[in-house]
């Protein structure tokens, strides 16, 4: 049962509308309070605090000093200056950690634990008289989430950092354990700085999973130990690669910000680039016309019936999985093109000699590759076709990303698998930008129209599910496929739209779009202050006048 929040009327006042995602339980008052120039954050009962918790505290200090976000009202808060100047001052925030096990773990350790076991809840109390504020959690990850919320309470005016809504009481925990963003770094390469900036932004809205679609048919930028030839011959250029050290850097950076990194090596489809280094393993490599052999160019799929290709793929997945500490690893499984195999003599010979059908061969291939993931102590993530389009053997703990349509969720639930919402009709960030294939004057993107933040915010994760099936939903994510995106538009195409699912899967469904918009404006403005080039949701005139630009205002 999802907790339903009590939202005080004072939520509509300026100094609490910056909270995103909305806490489960929030009450606020009407008393101004400002931070002391000597404001301090103290750790209580943690004699040797983990380094990443100390770093998180330092980042919080820095944001409090540098955000300088003014209230989004016409006078930017100037009419409250007198009340702010005469307000009580808050001198300190105490972090109190009460781990259930008695053992203090780092944020990084807790971030990569099985997603269904993580503790992210916290309580936060800020009194109106300026006495010490208190943040309590039973995990360092919970403290980190609470620090994120604390940093959102404050605005700046004339050198004062203030709120108008003390006292503030928050009890909070996520409705769903999985809240993610997928980035495709194969169709376009993204330097580490872009990925880290994205991870920062994710942490500011309490997202906890970075689904890294790191390779695909177009390029293979991941340097996998023992399989270096794949990146040497399959990356766009020698500089456009992610070395094992880069991966460690990304994983550590993400984990310290409460984010797990789930890598994906899509198989057996979307693997054309492997032919550059290992042509013996790829059917119909770069065959034309590509539309007969693949959903997009270049064509090419792993020869799934070949024993040597099965062994090669299992070893590749094993090596890649060892680079990532996450308890999840994705083997993909989407958009397998039957015609490619029908026209591939080698595959047909293998099927004939083994007396197997295509589906039987796919099952053998899947069991072997998934065994590599299981041997690494991880759970498999697959796209929905592995459950709905093919008859393959999957372990009960497999997580299924439903992407083709939200209408397919119920069918996956009926088979009893855990579900990650990733539906193109709600969460694809690349829709609505026109067709990207050439020689098609009137072409549109296949998943038109553009998916607004309001659309994703309106999604109901439990729609069409029984009470029992609702427990199968792990959460969901926004996704950016990068046929038409690269570092030049990464921030603008993702933010603040992707924050909508961050709140949806933290707070739960049923949020009011009109009441959410002023807070989402604050998200965008704060992101810009912190160096993320989020786009405007409305003209600034509207952002400063909550509700004035609603359709029937």
Task: Write down the pLDDT at residue 440.
Answer: 82
Tell me which of 109, 232, 286, 335 is the catalytic residue: 335
Task: Write down the pLDDT at residue 441.
Answer: 84
Confidence of residue 553 (pLDDT cuts 50, 70, 90): confident
Task: Write down the pLDDT at residue 46.
Answer: 76
Q: Is residue 540 domain-resident?
A: no
Confidence of residue 212 (pLDDT cuts 50, 70, 90): very high
Who contacts 102 (Cβ-Cβ below 8 Å, separation ≥6)?
none
Task: Write down the pLDDT at residue 7.
Answer: 35
Q: CA-CA distance, 484 to 473, in Å (whole number)?
A: 30
Q: Is residue 312 domain-resident?
A: no
Residue 464 has pLDDT above 70, yes or no: yes
Q: Is residue 270 domain-resident?
A: no
Q: What is the pLDDT of residues 351-367, one digit of tens each?
A: 999 999 999 999 999 99
Q: What is the pLDDT of residues 247-256, one digit of tens each?
A: 999 999 999 9
Q: Is residue 368 domain-resident?
A: no
Q: Token match 């591939």: residue?
A: 344
Residue 499 has pLDDT above 50, yes or no: yes
Q: Is residue 64 domain-resident?
A: yes
Task: Write down the pLDDT at residue 399.
Answer: 98
Q: Containing domain of residue 159, as a range?
A: 5-172
Assess whether 109 carries a catalytic annotation.
no
**Helix (H), strand (E) at residue 30:** strand 25-44
Q: How high is the mean pLDDT of the chain?
A: 95
Residue 90 has pLDDT above 60, yes or no: yes
Task: Write down the pLDDT at residue 16.
Answer: 55
Who contacts 494 (Cβ-Cβ below 8 Å, separation ≥6)?
181, 198, 201, 429, 478, 480
510: left (phi over 0), alpha (psi -120 to 50) or beta: left
Q: What is the pLDDT of residues 408-461, one digit of tens each?
A: 999 999 999 999 999 999 999 999 998 898 888 888 889 999 999 999 999 999
pTM of the prediction? 0.96
Average pLDDT for 323-342: 98
CATH number, domain containing residue 108: 3.30.379.10
Residue 104 has pLDDT above 60, yes or no: yes
Q: Is residue 10 domain-resident?
A: yes
Number of domains the chain is built from: 1
Q: Is residue 304 domain-resident?
A: no
Q: Is residue 110 domain-resident?
A: yes
Residue 12 has pLDDT above 60, yes or no: no
Contact between 225 and 236 under an 8 Å Cβ cutoff? The reply is no
DSSP sequence for 456-513: HHT--TTTT--HHHHTTEEEEEEEE--TT--TTTHHHHHTTTTHHHHHHHHH-S---H
Share of the chain above pLDDT 90, in %: 92
Q: CA-CA distance, 195 to 276, in Å (whole number)?
A: 27
Q: What is the pLDDT of residues 381-404, one digit of tens each?
A: 999 999 999 999 999 999 999 999
């Amino acid at each position: 049962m999802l907790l339903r929040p009590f939202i005080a009327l004072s939520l509509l006042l300026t100094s609490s509308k910056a909270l995103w995602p909305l806490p489960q339980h929030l009450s606020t008052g009407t008393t101004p309070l400002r931070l002391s120039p000597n404001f301090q954050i103290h750790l209580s009962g943690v004699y040797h605090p983990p380094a990443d918790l100390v770093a998180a505290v330092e980042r919080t200090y820095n944001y409090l000093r540098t955000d300088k976000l003014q209230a989004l009202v016409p006078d930017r808060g100037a009419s409250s200056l007198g009340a702010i100047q005469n307000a009580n001052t808050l001198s300190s925030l105490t972090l109190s950690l009460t781990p259930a096990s008695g053992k203090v773990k780092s944020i990084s350790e807790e971030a990569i634990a099985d997603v269904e076991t993580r503790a992210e809840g916290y309580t936060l109390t800020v009194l109106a008289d300026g006495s010490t504020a208190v943040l309590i959690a039973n995990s360092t990850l919970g403290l980190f989430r609470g620090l994120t919320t604390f940093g959102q309470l404050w605005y700046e005016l004339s050198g004062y950092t203030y709120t108008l809504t003390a006292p503030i009481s928050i009890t909070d925990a996520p409705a769903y354990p999985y809240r993610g963003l997928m980035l495709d770094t194969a169709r376009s390469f993204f330097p580490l700085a872009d990925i880290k900036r994205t991870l920062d932004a994710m942490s500011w809205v309490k997202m906890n999973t970075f689904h890294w679609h790191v390779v695909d048919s177009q390029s293979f930028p991941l340097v996998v130990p023992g399989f270096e030839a794949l990146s040497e011959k399959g990356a766009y250029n020698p500089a456009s690669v992610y070395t094992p050290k880069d991966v460690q850097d990304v994983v550590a950076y993400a984990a310290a910000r409460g984010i797990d990194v789930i890598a994906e090596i899509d198989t057996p489809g979307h693997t054309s680039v492997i032919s550059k280094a290992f042509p013996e393993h790829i059917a119909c490599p770069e065959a034309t016309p590509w539309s007969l052999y693949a959903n997009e160019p270049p064509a090419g799929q792993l020869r799934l019936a070949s024993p040597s290709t099965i062994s090669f793929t299992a070893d590749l997945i094993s090596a890649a999985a060892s680079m990532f500490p996450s308890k999840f690893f994705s083997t993909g499984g989407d958009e397998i093109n039957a015609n490619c195999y029908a026209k591939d003599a080698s595959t047909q010979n293998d099927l004939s000699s083994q007396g197997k059908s295509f589906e039987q061969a796919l099952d053998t291939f899947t069991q072997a590759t998934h065994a590599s993931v299981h041997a690494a102590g991880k759970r498999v993530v697959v796209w929905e076709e592995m459950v709905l389009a093919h008859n393959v053997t999957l372990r009960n703990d497999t997580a299924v990303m439903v992407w083709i349509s939200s209408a397919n969720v119920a069918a996956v639930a009926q088979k009893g698998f855990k579900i990650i919402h990733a539906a193109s009709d709600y969460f694809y960030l690349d829709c609505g930008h026109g067709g990207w294939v050439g020689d098609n004057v009137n072409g549109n993107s296949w998943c038109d129209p553009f998916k607004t933040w309001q659309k994703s915010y309106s999604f109901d994760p439990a729609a069409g599910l029984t009470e029992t099936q609702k427990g199968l939903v792990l959460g969901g994510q926004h996704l950016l496929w990068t046929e038409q995106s690269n570092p030049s538009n990464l921030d603008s195409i993702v933010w603040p739209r992707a924050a909508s699912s961050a709140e949806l899967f933290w707070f739960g469904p049923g949020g009011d779009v009109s009441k959410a918009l002023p807070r989402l404006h604050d998200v965008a403005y704060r992101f810009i202050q912190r160096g993320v080039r989020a786009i405007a949701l409305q003209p600034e005139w509207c952002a400063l006048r909550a509700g004035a630009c609603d359709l029937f205002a």
